[in-house]
A and B are shown apart, each in its own frame.
Chain A
Amino acid sequence: MTQAVKPRDNRAWYLVAPVMVSIVFTAVIPLMMVINYSVQDIFGQSRLFVGADWFNKTLEDPAFRGSFLRNLAFSIQVLIIQIPLGIVLGLGLPKKGWRSSMALVLMAMPLLIPFNVVGTIWLVFARGDIGLGGYFLNNIVGLDINYAQDSFDAWTTVLVMDTWHWTPLVALLVYAGLRAIPDAYYQAATIDGASKFAIFRYVQLPRLRGVLTIAVLLRFMDSFMIFTEPFVLTGGGPGDTTNFLSISLAQLAQAFNLGPAAAYSLVYFFFIQLSCFIFFTILKRF
Chain B
Amino acid sequence: MAEIRLVDLNHQYDVGGAYALKDVNLTWDDGGAYALLGPSGCGKTTMLNIISGLVRPSEGAVMFNDVDVARTSTADRDIAQVFQFPVIYESMTVRENLEFPLRNRGISKRDASARAVEIAELLQIDHMMKRRAQQLTADAKQLVSLARALVRREVSAILFDEPLTVIDPQKKWELRQALKRVHAELNHTLVYVTHDQTEALTFADEVVVMNAGGVMQKGTPVDLFEQPANTFVGNFIGSPGMNFFSAKVENGVASLAGTKLLEVPSGTQANGDPSDVIGVRPEFVRWHSTPADQRVPVTVTKLNDVGTAVMATFTVDGATGMARLPISDRPETGPGWVSFSRLQLFRNGDSLDNCKPIGLAEGASRA
Contact = CB atoms under 8 A, between A and B. Distances in A.
A109 to B, nearest CB: 32
Contact of B101 (A187, A193, A195, A206): A193
28 contacts: A182-B87, A184-B83, A184-B87, A185-B87, A187-B49, A187-B52, A187-B87, A188-B87, A188-B145, A188-B148, A190-B54, A190-B74, A191-B81, A192-B75, A192-B100, A192-B101, A192-B104, A193-B75, A193-B105, A194-B100, A194-B104, A198-B104, A202-B89, A202-B91, A202-B92, A205-B91, A206-B91, A207-B90
Contacts of B85: 182, 184
A191 B100 contact: no
Interface string A76-105: 000000000000000000000000000000
A58 to B, nearest CB: 43
Interface in A153-203: 182, 184-185, 187-188, 190-195, 198, 202-203
Nearest to A195: B104
Contacts of B100: 192, 194, 202
Contacts of A192: 75, 100-101, 104, 148
Among A188, A194, A195, max chain B CB count under 10 A is at A188
A185 B81 CA distance: 11
B84 interface: yes
Given A182-B85, A182-B87, A202-B91, 19 more contacts: A184-B84, A184-B87, A185-B87, A187-B81, A187-B87, A188-B87, A188-B145, A188-B148, A191-B52, A191-B75, A191-B79, A192-B100, A192-B101, A192-B104, A192-B148, A193-B105, A194-B104, A206-B89, A206-B91
Contact of A187 (B83, B91, B92, B148): B83
A203 B84 CA distance: 17
B80 interface: yes
Contacts of A184: 83-85, 87
Interface string B52-68: 10100000000000000
A108 to B, nearest CB: 30
Contacts of A202: 89, 91-92, 100
A218 to B, nearest CB: 23
Nearest to A188: B87
A193 B104 CA distance: 6
Interface in B32-72: 49, 52, 54
Interface in A201-232: 202-203, 205-207
Interface of B: 49, 52, 54, 74-75, 79-81, 83-85, 87, 89-92, 100-101, 104-105, 145, 148
Nearest to B87: A188
A188 B83 contact: yes
Contacts of B101: 191-193
Contacts of B54: 187, 190-191
B48 to A, nearest CB: 10
A198 B52 CA distance: 20
Q: Please name the 4 residue pairs, one residue from A and one from B, whose CB atoms are nearest each other, closest first.
A: A193-B104, A206-B91, A192-B101, A193-B75
Contacts of B80: 191
Given A184-B83, A184-B85, A191 B74 contact: yes
Among B54, B83, B87, max chain A CB count under 10 A is at B87
B215 to A, nearest CB: 24
B83 A190 contact: no
Interface of A: 182, 184-185, 187-188, 190-195, 198, 202-203, 205-207
Contacts of A194: 100, 104
A206 B89 CA distance: 8
Contact of A206 (B83, B87, B90, B145): B90
A interface SS class: helix
A206 B75 CA distance: 22
Contacts of B74: 187, 190-191
A119 B75 CA distance: 51
Contacts of B52: 187, 191
B49 to A, nearest CB: 8
Among B52, B75, B79, B80, max chain A CB count under 10 A is at B75
Contacts of B90: 206-207
B54 to A, nearest CB: 5
A196 to B, nearest CB: 12
A193 B103 CA distance: 9
A191 B48 CA distance: 13
Contacts of A193: 75, 101, 104-105
Given A193-B75, A202-B89, A202-B92, A188 B104 contact: no
A193 B101 CA distance: 6
A188 B100 CA distance: 11
A192 B75 CA distance: 7
Contacts of A207: 90
A188 B75 contact: no
A28 to B, nearest CB: 40
A198 B104 CA distance: 9
Contacts of A191: 52, 54, 74-75, 79-81, 101
Contacts of B87: 182, 184-185, 187-188
A184 B52 CA distance: 13
